[in-house]
Structure 1
C-alpha cells in the first residue's frame, strides 16, 4: 500500500477531463481487446453475490441491501472505510437483490421501494456499469458514493481534508495550518468540464466515469461533489440530485450507465465516456426505464448567428423529464445532440454561461430534427448594449473579477484570497480585477466605484445595470450615487436557498438588476469623479461569509 496516513504522496493523475485523457492508456474499455475471461462468472458466499469479471476485478454485492461490499483489483481490496460500504445515498436498507447472467453479461438488480439500482459486469472487463432509477422522492437525493480505503490514493488537493484539522464552516469546510482551505465541495469543475473523476498511483487508476446526466438537475454548469479524501479514506461520487445550490426541480427515471473503472494507472478508456458509450448488450436485460438507442432521437443545428466569437457557446435542451447539452462549434455554431429521449424541449443558447436565446424543439425516436441557423437577437445579449463604462463581461460568470478563479476551489477566508474590500476607479485599467467577485452584507458591502462623465452624459438620466449569477440569503444590490440619490431596495429574484458562495459555486439563476438614475444625481463638474456605492441588502443570513451575499457577472452604465 503506497504512502501513509501521515505524509502526502505525490500522484500522477487526480482528476481528468476528456481532453486530458484522449491519449491515455487504459484497461478494460468496452471496445478494447478482451482480456482472458476464463474465470468469468459468479458465486454466492451466503451474504453476497461474488462476481469475477475474468480479468483482474472481483467484486461483491450484498444480498441484503445492495451495497457494494468488496472491490478487489489485482488482489488488492479498495472498497470501504469506517465500516461503511459503497452504495446509493447512505445505504438503502433491506432490499430485494437478484442476479442473472446473460451470456457475457452479469446483472445484479436491487429493488428498494420504488427505487431500482443495477450493477453489470462484462466478461474480460475491469469495469462495473451502474444504473439508478429513482421514481419519486422516497429517497432524498440521487448519489452513489464509492468508498475507498485510506492510504491507497493520498493527495493534498482542494477536495482533500486529510491534513486540514481546523473547521472553518459547518462540518465540511476545513483550514490547514498554512491557511489554505479544503472541502469535499471544492471540485473546481462544472459538469460540462469532466468525463471522469478519480485517482492514479501511476500503476493503478480508480475512476468513476460519469453518465450523461440526462436525469440530473442543474444543467451543464452545475457544480457538485466529485471526490474527497480524508484520514478515514476517499470517496468518488456520481451525483444526479444533491439538493444543494439547485436551480431546477429534480428529475425522475433511469440514469446511467455510469462506470466504476479500474486501469493500469491511465485514464479510463474514452469508449466509456458518456458521449461515446453504447450499450446494446444491455437492451434485453430488463432494466426498468431503459431506452435503447433506437428509442432516441437527435437534434442538429446548422449554425448560430449573432454570436460574439470571443466567447464559447453551449446549446442545451431541457424539459421536466430530461436535459442535454453540447458545445457549439467555434467557427460557425454548428452543433449536434444525439441520444435524446423523445419529447418537446426548450433549447437554450448560452454565451459562456449566460442564456442569450431560447426556442422550442421536438424530438422523435429514430429521427433527426434539423434546425436552420439560430440567430441570437441583439437584445438577447446584454453585452451588445452601448455603455459609458463597463466592469466585467456579460457571460453569466464572475470570471475576471477579484478572487473569482480561486472561489471554485477555496473558501472566501482562504489565505490566498486577495482583500475583499477596496474601491474601484473606472478608467484605471484594473476595474474588473480590482472589483471583488462576491459582495456580502457583513464583509464588503458599500464598495465604491469612481467614474467621470462628460457634460453631455451628466445632463441625462442613465440606466445602471448589475448582473448577478446567484445570491445567498436573498442578498441583492442597492445603489447610491454621489450621496444624492439612492435606489429602492430591489425585490430578490428566485435563487437557490442553500450555501453557494462558500462551497465553490457561483451558479444560481442569472439575473440583471436595473436602476434608472436621474440626471440630478450626477456631478456637473466634469473634472470630478462621480461615486457609486453598492450595498448588499437583505433581512436574512448570519454573519461574515454566511451573511447575505451575491456573485457579480457585470456592471455597466448605459449610454
Structure 2
C-alpha cells in the first residue's frame, strides 16, 4: 500500500513504496531538479528504523524509538556514525514518539520529545535531508544538531581538525601539533553571514550541512560558532540552534530550519538550498509546528544609506526577542532588502563593518514590504569622524588590522604563527596599527606603551583619549597612565562570561572607554615623547591567555 510501513527487513534500495514519484519530474516542487530516476522513492520499516530512499542515491534511517539518524548511505557507502554514536539533536533525545508520513513527493518523519519537536523531510529525486527543530522552552536541552561522520572518509588538516595525540593546550578542546600550530573545533574562521554551508569533499563525494536562516538563533550576523570538527575518530557537522560561547543575546525559541544535509558528486551544494534562496512551499501543508510559509512573512527594503564610509562594507540587521535577520547594503548607494521576515516590530541597526552606527524601529506585516526612505547616518555616530591628534586603526567594531587579528579567528594565541604579543608602539612610525596587538591580557602583555609627541598648543589643553573594545574576558578592561598621571579604573561593561579570545571569537559587545586627560599630564617639551601606558585590570580570570583580557577596536587621542 503506498506510503504504508512494511514489517519486512530492508535488504535493497529498490522500494516499491510511494506513488507520486512515478508521475515524472513535473511533480517535483522542490528547489532541485531530479538527479536520477525516482522510481524507488519511498519508505519502509525494518523493525527498528524507518528507512527512506530518496530515489537519487541516498538512503537514510531514523530510529523509531528516539529519532536518531542511524544511517546515511550514499551510492552504497555508509557515512553516518563514529564511536558508536548516531547523528541527532544535542547528544540524543532518548525515548521519543516517532511517526512517518508520505505526502506526494515528500516524506516527513516527526519526532516528539516532551516540548521539543524535530523533523526530517525527504524529497523525491533529491540527495538531501531537510531538518527542522522546534524548541518551545528550556525543559528539553537542545543547542545543536550534529551529523556524525565515519572516520577516514574526509581526513584533512584544517584549523578545525585535530587528533587526540596532539598535546592539549586548553580546556580539552584546543590542541597543539608538534610543529606548534594549534587546532580546535572552535576555529571555523567564519561569521554566520560569511557561510551558507560547511562540510567536506573527497573522492567525488561532497557531504554538507547547509545552514538555516538562523532567525531563531542568537548573536546576529557577525556571530562565530562551532561549525564542524574532524579528528582521527571521525567528523562532525553542526547546525547550532543556540551557542552559549561568547553569546551576546538571550536564547530565542520556536522553529529553526530548514537546515539541510546535502550530498553532492563532490561540488558545493546547489545555491537553491542556501538561506535566503531556499523556498519550501512543498512544506506548507505538512503540519510542522511553528512553520510559517512565505505568505505569512514580510520584507524590509531601504532605498539607500547616506553618510557611509565607502571603504567599509555596511550590513543592516533586524532583531527582536523572537527573531533576527540581516542583509548587506549595496556598496554603490546603500540599498538593502531583507525578506522572509516574521511579522513584528524590530530594532533595525546599520553596521559599519561590525560597528553599529544607526538604529531605528521598523514594523513588518505578513505579505507586505516596509519601505524606508534613505537612511542618513549622522556623522557623529561614526567615531572615526571625530578630529583626532592621532588614531591607531579605524573604528570598525573589529580588531582587523591589528597584530595577529586575522590569525586569531582560527588559532590559539599561543600558536607558533603568532607574532610576539609584546612590543611598544610609536605614533608616526607608519606601523602603529600592525605593531599593536589585537588582544591585551593581564598576564601576557599588560603595560603596553604608546609613544607620541604633541605640539605646544596641543600640550596646553586637556584631551579625551578613547579605547574601543569588541569583547572582554573575565571583566578585563583598560586602565591608562600618561606620563605621571593615572586614570581611575573604569567599570566593566556587559560582556559575555565565557571564553572568547582563545577560541576564535572577538565578537562581544562593542564598548568605548573614554578618559579625560588633564593638560597637566602632558610633557611641555615638544621634542620629547609622551608615554601612554595601557594596563589590563580585573580581579578575576585565571593565568596566561585565560587571564583577564580584552579585544581592541581602535585607540585615539581627540583634538
Quickly name the TM-score band, shorter chain normalised.
over 0.9
TM-score, structure 1 length as denominator? 0.94
The 8 Å contact of residues 118 and 130 in structure 1, kept in 2 or not, is answered as yes
**1:226-305 alignment to 2 at 5 Å?**
226-305=227-306
Residue 107 in structure 1 maps to residue 108 in structure 2? yes
Does residue 46 of the first structure (1) align with residue 21 of the second (2)? no
Gaps of 5+ in 2: 1-28
Residues 114-136 of structure 1, C-alpha deviations (whole Å, 9 max, x = no match) = 00100000001000000000111
Which residue is 1:120 aligned to?
A: 121
SS in 1 for 2:499: coil
Give the alignment of 1:34-433 within 5 angstroms. 34-162=35-163, 165-433=166-434
Q: CA RMSD in A?
A: 1.0
Task: State the Cα distance separating 1:34 from its structure 2 match.
Answer: 4.8
Q: Distance in 1 between matches of 2:356 and 2:34?
A: 44
Find the aligned partners of 1:148 and 1:434 in 2 and give their Cα distance: 42
Give the C-alpha shift of residue 275 in structure 1: 1.2
CA contact (8 A) 1:164 1:177 kept: no
Match of 1:488 in 2: 488
TM-score (norm 2): 0.94
Match of 1:5 in 2: none
Report the alpha carbon displacement of residue 140 of structure 1 after superposing the two structures with TM: 3.3
Q: CA deviation at 1:416?
A: 0.3
Is 1:450 the counterpart of 2:483 in the alignment?
no
Cα offsets for 1:84-138 (capped at 9, x unmatched) = 0000101111000000000110000000110010000000100000000011112
Moved over 3 A (4+): none
Deviates more, 1:28-37 or 1:180-189: 28-37
Could you report, residue by residue, the CA deviation over 1:121-177 in whole angstroms, capped at 9, with x for unpaired residues?
A: 000100000000011112334200000000000000000002761000011000000
Per the TM alignment, residue 244 of structure 1 is displaced from its structure 2 partner at its CA by 1.0
Shift of 1:555: 0.2
SS in 2 for 1:247: coil
For 1:33 and 1:338, locate their aligned partners in 2 and report how far apart those are by CA, in whole Å.
27
CA distance in 2, matches of 1:140, 1:461: 54
Is this contact kept in 2: 1:205–1:265, CA < 8 A? yes
Q: Which residue is equivalent to 1:459?
A: 460
Cα distance in 2, alignment partners of residues 380 and 115 from structure 1 = 43
Aligned to 2:18: none
Deviation at 1:231, TM superposition (A): 1.2
| 1:558 partnered with 2:558 | yes
Structure-2 change in CA distance of 1:140 and 1:163 (3 Å): closer
Name 1:471's counterpart in structure 2: 472
| Partner in structure 1 of residue 4 of structure 2 | none
* Helix, strand or coil at the partner of 1:432: helix
Q: Distance in 1 between matches of 2:113 and 2:32?
A: 33
User: 1 CA distance for matches of 2:69 and 2:552?
Assistant: 43
Q: CA deviation at 1:521?
A: 0.1
8 Å Cα contact 1:363/1:369 also seen in 2: yes
> What is the deviation of 1:538?
0.1
Cα distance change of structure 1 residues 177 and 53 upon mapping to structure 2, 3 Å threshold: same
2:549 — aligned with what? 549
1:379 Cα shift?
1.4
Counterpart mapping for 1:465-544 below 5 A: 465-482=466-483, 484-544=484-544
Q: Alpha-carbon deviations, 1:332-370, whole Å to 9, x = none? A: 000001100000000000000000000000000000000
Q: Is the 8 A contact 1:164 1:175 kept in 2?
A: no
Q: Unpaired segments of 5 or more residues in structure 1? A: 1-27
Q: Deviation per CA, 1:198-256: give whole Å up to 9, x if none.
A: 00015000000000000000000000111100111000000021211100001000011
The answer as to whether partners of 1:387 and 1:558 remain within 8 angstroms in 2 is yes
Q: How far, CA to CA, are the matches of 1:403 and 1:139 in structure 2?
A: 40
Q: Is the 8 A contact 2:301 2:337 kept in 1?
A: yes
Match of 1:10 in 2: none
Kept after mapping to 1: 8 A contact 2:34/2:126: no
- Could you tell me how far apart the structure 2 residues matched to 1:527 and 1:441 are? 32
Q: Is the 8 A contact 2:30 2:282 kept in 1?
A: no
Q: Equivalent residue for 1:15?
A: none
Distance 1:466 1:31, change over 3 A: same
User: 1:139, 1:418 → 2: CA distance?
Assistant: 44
Contact 1:141 1:242 in 2 (8 A): no
Separation in 2, partners of 1:46, 1:356: 58
User: Contact (CA 8 Å) 2:465, 2:556: kept in 1 or not?
Assistant: yes
Give CA deviations for 1:236-286 in whole Å, capped at 9, x if unaligned.
000021211100001000011000000000000010001110000000000
Instruction: Tell me if structure 1 keeps the 8 A contact 2:80–2:87.
Output: yes
Alpha-carbon contact 1:303-1:372 (below 8 Å) kept: yes
Distance change in 2, residues 1:164/1:326 (3 Å): farther
Question: For each residue in 1:367-388, what CA deviation from the matched residue of structure 2 results, as whole angstroms up to 9, or x when unmatched?
Answer: 0000000111111111110000
CA contact (8 A) 2:306 2:334 kept: yes
Deviation at 1:518, TM superposition (A): 0.1
Write the distance in 1 (CA, Å) between the matches of 2:387 and 2:32.
Answer: 53
CA distance in 1, matches of 2:181, 2:140: 35
SS in 2 for 1:308: coil
Aligned equivalents of 2:400 and 2:52: distance in 1? 47
In 2, the alpha carbon distance for the partners of 1:474 and 1:101 equals 54
The separation in 1 between residues aligned to 2:385 and 2:142, in whole angstroms, is 40
Q: For CA contacts below 8 A with separation 6 or more, give which structure has more relative contact order.
A: 1
1:463 deviates by: 0.2
Q: Secondary structure at the match of 2:295?
A: helix
- Give the stretch that moved more between structures: 139-148 or 299-308: 139-148
Shift of 1:194: 0.3
